[in-house]
Each structure stands twice: as structure tokens, then as C-alpha cells.
Homo-oligomer: A and B are copies of this chain.
Amino acid sequence: MADINFSRSAPPVDPAAKAAEPSGPDFQLIELLFFAYRDFVGDADQMLARYGFGRAHHRVLYFVERNPGIRVTDLLDILRITKQSLGRVLKQLVDEGFILQTPGESDRRQRLLHATRKGSRLVQELAERQSQRLEQAAAGLDAAGRAGARAFLQNMIDRDAPPRAPSDDVA
């Protein structure tokens, strides 16, 4: 694969060519994000396959573990998927004992979601593997660099949760 222009090989951008500012889009950074995220989720994909799960299961289980007792509606808002899409993977996670549903105390229509011990353990395993990659990536950086990386990602996120049309799906 001679002379392919992506991150793993020679950097396409000469760091010394700083003079002419109107250099257009930062292709290097765009590619960095693409490859970094791919490898990042790839870690989890491998482990999930051993359970017969996919990324969708990971996301659901993750946010349930991180938000114990979350309502279905709120989970849908975080994931930004439809309840039909959620339903399929959630059912599997419940059937296989990774998530538990309990009726809401004040509102018994709710089916509040909790990770079981088994579910928590899986989330933990997955997070540890992903965190390992993140720690190694941060290892070469000083405090300012690490803070910068975190702040950069934080700033990339839309401030205002893009408004849902008032009667979207949760109608």
C-alpha cells in the first residue's frame, strides 16, 4: 500500500508549513477522529461478540448502568433512537439477565431500568478495556495536554440537545 494518505503512514500535513493560514479544512484532524473512534469501538465489539451482542446492546447497557433506574423515555432521549429500535435490544438484555425492569413507585406505568450484577460486570469489563486505550493515549501527554483533549471533546458536543419536534415519537 505505497503512499497512502492516512494517519498510520506519513502525515500528509507538514507541521512546518504554518505560514499561509487559509489552509482549508483540517483533514488530518478529521482522519484522526475517524481512525481513533474506529479503534476505540473496535475494542468493545470484539468482547461483545463473545456474548452475541452488538454495539446497540453496549450503548443501552452502558447508559442503564450509568443511570440506574432510568426511565425508558429518558434512555430514548439519550440514545436518540426510536422505542422500536430500543425494544429489540432491550428485550434481549432483559431476557438474558443483564437488565432488570422495576415499576416506578410514584408512577406505575414506568418500567425503570437497572443493570443486574451480571450487567454491571459486563459494562465494567468493556469500560476497562476502552479506558485502557484512553489511558495509554494520555500517557504521553502532560496535564495541559490531557486537559486539552478532554476540553476539546467536550466542546465538540452540541450544547443544546437539538430540539425534538414536540410530538415526535413519544406521542
A residues engaging B (CB < 8 A)?
Answer: 1, 4-8, 12, 24-40, 59, 63, 66-67, 70, 74, 77-78, 80, 124, 127-128, 130-131, 133-142, 144-159, 161
Contacts and interface: CB of A to CB of B under 8 A. Distances in A.
Copies in the complex: 2
A33 to B, nearest CB: 6
A25 B157 contact: no
A112 to B, nearest CB: 13
A137 to B, nearest CB: 4
A8 B63 CA distance: 14
A111 to B, nearest CB: 16
A129 to B, nearest CB: 9
A4 B67 contact: yes
Contact of A156 (B29, B137, B142): B137
A5 B113 CA distance: 14
Nearest to A70: B4
Contact of A12 (B37, B66, B70): B66
Contact of A8 (B1, B124, B151, B157): B157
B1 A77 contact: yes
A156 to B, nearest CB: 4
Contacts of A136: 155
A130 B77 contact: no
A36 B4 contact: no
